[in-house]
Amino acid sequence: MWSTGPKPPSDVTKHKNIYTVRQIQHLLVLCSLLKQDGPLARTLANALALDPLPMAVRAEPVPSVHPQATKDWLESFWEPAALTPDEVEVAAWQNNITEMVTAVEEIHAIEKLIGIRLTTEIMTQPEENSQ
């Protein structure tokens, strides 16, 4: 088994960016448990293949995580006239109700399996100061 070797005892909660590292690790576990031929895995693969620059230019902080606020934010972010053809495919996948329901069921099953929920929250402090 691959290992980075023994680590000296320490309080991992004091490690710089530990919560961000754990979020990345949880995301990796979640993605590794997706059905490879499922709609969510396909859509995530499409999203990862996008050129990030056009989206980064349009990116603005979300004002709130309230469902209506995030809906409005996503609609402004995914304004059809501003999207590249590849971005249209990623944004439009959610219009297929069968795929959306399947993706939600798959995420719920994985969350139940690993006991960790994929969550969204507003950043309250600058990234460089987070643990």
- How many residues does this entry show for the chain? 131
pLDDT at 43: 93
What pLDDT, on the 0 to 100 scale, is given for residue 103?
94
Output the pLDDT for position 2. Answer: 64
From 50, 61, 123, 63, select the one nearest 91 (Cα to Cα). 50
Write down the pTM of the prediction. 0.79
Q: What is the C-alpha radius of gyration for the chain, rounded to an integer number of angstroms?
A: 18
Of the pLDDT bands very low, low, confident and very high (cuts 50, 70, 90), residue 127 is low
Whether the Cβ atoms of residue 41 and residue 35 lie closer than 8 Å to each other:
yes
- Please say whether the dihedral angle defined by the alpha carbons of residues 21, 130, 59 and 63, taken in this order, is positive or negative: positive
